Amino acid sequence: MSRTAIPLRRGAIAGLMALTAWVAAMNVPATAAVGVDSSELRNAVTVEGIREHQAAFQAIADANSSTRLAGTGGYDDSADYVVERLEAAGYDPVLQPFDFAFFQQLSPSVLEQVSPNATAYVEGTDFLIMQYSGSGDVTADVQPTNDVVIPPGATANTSNSGCEPEDFTGFTAGNIALIQRGTCTFFQKAINAQDAGASGVLIFNEGQAGRTDALSGTLGSPDFTTPVLFTTFALGEDLYSLSQAGPVSIHMVTDTVSEIRSTNNVIAETSGGRSDRVVVVGAHLDSVQEGPGINDNGSGSATILEIAEQFAELGIEPRNKVRFAWWGAEEEGLLGSEFYVSQLTKREIKDIALNLNFDMVGSPNFVRFVYDGDGSDTPVKGPTGSAQVEDVFLDYFADQGLETDPTAFDGRSDYGPFIAVGIPAGGLFTGAEGLKTAEQVAIYGGIEGEQYDPCYHEACDTFAGTGGATPPGLGLVALDQMSDAAAHAILAFAMTTSAVPGTDKGSARGLANLDALEFRGSMAQR
């Protein structure tokens, strides 16, 4: 539903608080009442408020080389902004520091054949830098390792190239190692090459169907002082064939920072509510290096910040404690949320009722994706209780006459560490690099065959891009609808007297499970 900002009314706040007290006194299932009364919070959470936060994130990126990458000033300033807004709203936010493996490419990489055929290769097409590559400017002969398989085998992992130190028997120190993908990790291949004295490392794709292009892979840790690039199978095959006939000289340049740095999660919670039934509401605060990340994930971060502010402004007293979290270093591998969960005791894990995750909720070519908690439409279901989390979102959208699509728990966002320890989870997503179908265009509008977010992980993921991309304003429609749904679900779980099934924290006088949630309106297609 479309909304404009409204002035906050003290009478409305008092009415909401009085209704909450009446529900408790009458022992009416709170979730049923919240299905009606979340409008007060939804009306307070406006697109204008969310865009204010996104504009601040854009300004921070502008002042920090157009990025809010974890471990950089852009991320630190983003965290400071969130803390300042939370403190102004009356919260007592804390920073949870953790160390992580930081990597940043400072300038474009170079790869060119000097001889026998002078050739300049194209970054992004012929090759890509590997995460945690060292820096260097090297000109040397290419030397293939043992166990290169050309033509490649029929199945993946036919090649064992570079997986054992013995693969470098006879390797000339100072040469550039040419290694084929397959069998073991990129780290193992590259570290064996570095230990053998290689001045640079080229890992080329294996060659089977689906394993031919340049890959933006990771070495896993900042243990490398030598340049490491990943090339297409075609380029690797060409260099290998040329090397069988004579010397092949290659020039490669990488310019990186690869080291251990410290960053922070930002965490704030309501002062009231049951501490043995905590609702953790999360969104990652960092961007990729390539851009400001105003949709990924300035949209989720700004949305939960606006909800947290309005929660406080309305004076909502939750039955269950709500813990808002802005995760760091998600783009490096869910590291902030993973660290948070790793620090929880068994008791603290049990005390978390569920995790709600909001990662990209304003994609310019959007779909209303809801995480498929019961696994009915995707390969993986969430822990027990995730189906009920999904149902809260589905029933809300049905009440609004809005259709949804399922999205899988594929491990690509910060719910991952929570479901790994059995905590029910759910959330919303408006799409990333996936392509919009004709069927989806018929439901949501937009452009068939284009990415849900054409600027996903790109420099154009900006404030202007999220608000004005083609078709104009569609991302703001997404932000409006998804922020309403987020506010509704957060309030529903904050106020319920029932535990999410599987967490064993239900009140004997409350609902047996959340299947009893009731919402007015007809059910739309799920």
Annotation says 330 is catalytic: yes
Q: Is the peptide bond before 151 cis (omega within 30 degrees of 0)?
A: yes
Q: SS3 for 390? A: helix
CB atoms within 10 A of CB 97: 11
Question: What does the pLDDT read at residue 466?
Answer: 74
Question: What does the pLDDT read at residue 414?
Answer: 97
Which one-letter amino acid corresponds to residue 195? D
Q: Give the CATH class of 107-254.
A: alpha beta
**Could you tell me the fold of the domain covering 28-102+261-516?**
Aminopeptidase (3.40.630)
Q: Residues 403, 409, 413, CA angle at the centre, nearest 5°?
A: 100
Got the DSSP string for 282-337? EEE--B-TTS--TTTTHHHHHHHHHHHHHHHHTT---SEEEEEEEES-GGGTSHHH
Q: Which residues partner with 295 through β-bridges?
A: none
Which one-letter amino acid corresponds to residue 506? G
Give residue-wise pLDDT tens across range 330-351: 999 999 999 999 999 999 999 9
Question: What does the pLDDT read at residue 16?
Answer: 34
Give residue-wise pLDDT tens across range 217-247: 899 999 999 999 999 999 999 999 999 999 9
Q: Residues 133, 139, 141, CA angle at the centre, nearest 5°?
A: 100
Question: What residues does each domain of the chain span?
Answer: 28-102+261-516, 107-254
Quote the CA–CA distance of 386 and 419 in Å, as a whole number. Answer: 9
| Residue 358: HSE in the Cβ half-sphere, 13 Å Cα cutoff | 33
User: pTM for this one?
Assistant: 0.82
Question: What does the pLDDT read at residue 470?
Answer: 52
Q: Are 67 and 292 in contact (CB under 8 A)?
A: yes
Residue 83's contacts (CB-CB under 8 Å, 6 or more residues apart) are 93, 95, 266
In the block, tokens 């090459």 appear at: 193
Quote the CA–CA distance of 382 and 526 in Å, as a whole number. Answer: 18
Residue 24's contacts (CB-CB under 8 Å, 6 or more residues apart) are 30, 319
Residue 464's contacts (CB-CB under 8 Å, 6 or more residues apart) are none
Question: What does the pLDDT read at residue 500?
Answer: 82
- Classify each residue of 8-37 as buried b or exposed e, where b means 16 or more C-beta atoms within 10 Å of its C-beta: eeeeebeebeeebeebeeeeebbbbbbbeb
Question: What does the pLDDT read at residue 473?
Answer: 83
Question: What does the pLDDT read at residue 3?
Answer: 29
* Structure token pair of residue 503: 């967490």
Q: SS3 for 165? A: helix
Quote the CA–CA distance of 130 and 103 in Å, as a whole number. Answer: 10
Instruction: Identify the burial level of 331 via C-beta atoms within 10 angstroms of its C-beta, where 0-12 means exposed, 13-18 middle and 19 or more buried.
Output: buried
Quote the CA–CA distance of 130 and 355 in Å, as a whole number. Answer: 33
Quote the CA–CA distance of 338 and 325 in Å, as a whole number. Answer: 12
| Residue 365: HSE in the Cβ half-sphere, 13 Å Cα cutoff | 23
DSSP, res 374: T
pLDDT tens across the length of the chain (526 residues):
222 222 222 233 333 333 333 333 323 333 332 344 899 999 999 999 999 999 999 999 999 999 999 999 999 999 999 999 999 999 999 999 999 999 999 999 999 999 999 999 999 999 999 999 999 999 999 999 999 999 998 888 899 999 999 999 999 999 999 999 999 999 999 999 999 999 999 999 999 998 999 988 899 999 999 999 999 999 999 999 999 999 999 999 999 999 999 999 999 999 999 999 999 999 999 999 999 999 999 999 999 999 999 999 999 999 999 999 999 999 999 999 999 999 999 999 999 999 999 999 999 999 999 999 999 999 999 999 999 999 999 999 999 999 999 999 999 999 999 999 999 999 999 999 999 999 999 999 999 999 999 999 999 999 998 755 455 688 999 999 999 999 999 999 999 988 887 765 443 322 223 333 332 222 222 2
CB atoms within 10 A of CB 254: 26
Active-site residue identified among 40, 206, 309, 330: 330
Element (H, E) at 269: strand 256-269
Question: What does the pLDDT read at residue 17?
Answer: 35
Quote the CA–CA distance of 189 and 217 in Å, as a whole number. Answer: 13
